[in-house]
Amino acid sequence: MNCLKMLHAKIMKCQKCPLSQLRTKAVPGEGSIGAKIMFIGQAPGREEDKTGRPFVGRAGKFLDELFQANGISREEVFLTGSVKCFPPDNRVPKREELLACKPYLIEQIVLVNPRMVVFLGNVAQKFLLNEEILKGRIIFFTYHPAAGMRFPKIKEKMAEDFNRLVDIAQENRLLKSF
């Protein structure tokens, strides 16, 4: 078992915060060591909680549309969240939950070592932005797909953001299709 798989196995059993009592499955994230782009969202939703997979609910489908429109495949990026367990009613994770879960996210960044980190929404941003681990990486901000799905203006902005993201990926050879 590689280090990333070992870390994900640990996350699946984690009981470091109260979200462990409410989850069906923890959702560590998906992708491989060596992915050059890591997308970090907020937290698993209901569908993710059932399946243990990131971005498989409605917001995930919208993210897939953005990926497809821009020639990005899920297999070549890494997808994860700021916390790995479903917060009831899709609420924003509490500070103590984010803090408890943060070492897992940091370890994922160390192991995957992405050249570019994309923050989907501002939850992870607030907790990670000043971390040493981000130094030397390309940092990119956009909205959370759940917001893009609901609000047409944000949807438009996300489409523009993804065009920019792909330009940067192209310049830096971060995607296989380029």
Q: Looking at beta carbons only, is 27 or 63 nearer to ligand SF4?
A: 27
Tell me the residue type at 93: P
CA distance 170 to 173: 5
Binding mask 101-120 for ligand SF4 (x = CB under 6 A): x-------------------
Nearest to 44, CA basis, from 3, 6, 92, 77: 92
The token duo for 14 is 């984690």
**Residues 44 to 83 in contact with ligand SF4, rule: CB under 6 A:** 83
Q: Which residue in the set 26, 77, 149, 175 belongs to the binding site for ligand SF4 (CB under 6 A)?
A: 26
Q: Looking at beta carbons only, is 57 or 87 nearer to ligand SF4?
A: 87
Nearest to 169, CA basis, from 114, 119, 107: 114
Enumerate binding residues for ligand SF4 (CB under 6 A): 11, 14-17, 19-20, 26, 83-85, 97, 100-101
